[in-house]
Amino acid sequence: MSTWQRLRSNRLALSGGIVVALLAFVALFAPWLAPYDPGEFNAAEVLQGLSRQHPLGTDGIGRDVLSRMIYGSRISLLVGFVSVGIASFIGVTLGALAGYFRGIVDTVIMRFVDVMLTFPTFFLILAVIAYLDATIWNIMVVIGVTSWMGVCRLVRAELLSLREREFMIAAEGLGMSPLRVILRHGLPNAMAPVFVAFILGVAGAILTESALSFLGIGVQPPTPSWGNILTEGKDTLEVAWWLSVCPGLAILITVLGYNLLGEGLRDVLDPRLKSR
């Protein structure tokens, strides 16, 4: 059975893929899908409930919540993919070096990984953000440089295994440089678990950004993000429940979609599961 057939037969993965695709569509076409400008406010429509004019109601200064939710999906995707991209680049680079060269290089890199893992990641991010401006670019970089350890360990384990394979030994015997062996033969055969970790990491990055925005040190208003919409709703929960429920459901569905897709891809791409 081909990879695509296995993926199509996995209903949970297919459901996650549909959610991810819909989110990407909404983020890409936000200017055309949003019924209002996300920054446009109307003092006469403060905290209006769900209606035909405002399907998800309005916030404390009369802005359309649906429009802000749609534009907020762009922030979530941007933070998710850029921060996980940074983490993957660092993790793949260090993991490949540790797994291929072994010895002192492996020892130094893995002890550094152990040191990084001793810090609670979220509190480390809070500490760094406290000393930096809470811009979206700083948030993405900080999330990225504090989240690469898992990818590093994955790639190291794969390279340690591949290092003893015949095609790697043959490539070295032909006089290829270590860099060329890693790039041509090592990493292409080690990227399946990294791809799965990337998908799952996007969900974690979206949650982290939402938590930072909820605490007021993430994406700053008036830029809409699901986290800061949630923050606005906590003070008016009794009279404007939609300000908390709508972004909360969006975060839940998005993270669930990425997790289902990631778990499905793990089942499909893991060679140990193909014989089952």
What backbone phi and psi angles, to 5 degrees, belong to 58?
A: -130, 165
> What was the pLDDT predicted at 161?
85
Note whether residue 32 is domain-resident: no
Q: What is the pLDDT of residues 71-90, one digit of tens each?
A: 999 988 899 899 999 999 99
What backbone phi and psi angles, to 5 degrees, belong to 220?
A: -90, 140
Q: Exposure pattern of 184-198 as b/e (b: 16+ CB <10 Å)?
A: ebbbeebbbbbebbb
Note whether residue 3 is domain-resident: no
> What was the pLDDT predicted at 32?
93
> What was the pLDDT predicted at 108?
94
> What was the pLDDT predicted at 69?
93
> What was the pLDDT predicted at 33?
92
Are residues 60 and 232 in contact, defined by beta-carbon separation less than 8 angstroms? yes
CATH number at residue 130: 1.10.3720.10
Are residues 153 and 113 in contact, defined by beta-carbon separation less than 8 angstroms? yes
- Parent domain of 126: 63-273
Note whether residue 178 is domain-resident: yes
Residue 148 DSSP label: -
> What was the pLDDT predicted at 176?
79
Are residues 33 and 26 in contact, defined by beta-carbon separation less than 8 angstroms? yes
Angstrom distance (rounded) from CA 76 to CA 32: 18
HSE, CB side, 13 Å, CA atoms: give it for residue 187. 20
Coil, strand, or helix at residue 146?
coil
- Residue closest to 255 by CA, chosen among 73, 64, 71, 82: 73
Note whether residue 90 is domain-resident: yes
Note whether residue 235 is domain-resident: yes
Note whether residue 4 is domain-resident: no
- Residue closest to 225 by CA, chosen among 237, 209, 201: 209
pTM, rounded to two decimals: 0.87
- Give the angle 196-157-142 at the CA atoms, nearest 5°: 60
User: Helix count (H) and strand count (E) of the chain?
Assistant: 13, 0
Note whether residue 127 is domain-resident: yes
pLDDT tens for the 276 residues of the chain, in order: 566 666 677 777 888 889 999 999 999 999 999 998 888 888 888 888 888 888 998 888 889 999 999 999 998 889 989 999 999 999 999 999 999 888 899 999 999 999 988 888 788 888 887 777 777 888 888 889 988 999 999 999 989 888 878 887 787 788 778 888 888 888 888 888 888 889 999 999 989 888 888 888 878 878 888 888 888 888 787 788 888 899 999 999 999 999 998 888 887 776 554 444
Q: Tell me the sheet residues that pair with 58.
A: 64
Count of domains observed in the chain: 1
> What was the pLDDT predicted at 275?
40
> What was the pLDDT predicted at 1?
53
Spatial CB neighbours of 240, under 8 Å, sequence gap ≥ 6: 47, 49, 57, 59, 60, 233
Average pLDDT, the chain: 85
Note whether residue 233 is domain-resident: yes
**How many C-beta neighbours within 10 Å does residue 251 have?**
22
> What was the pLDDT predicted at 225?
87
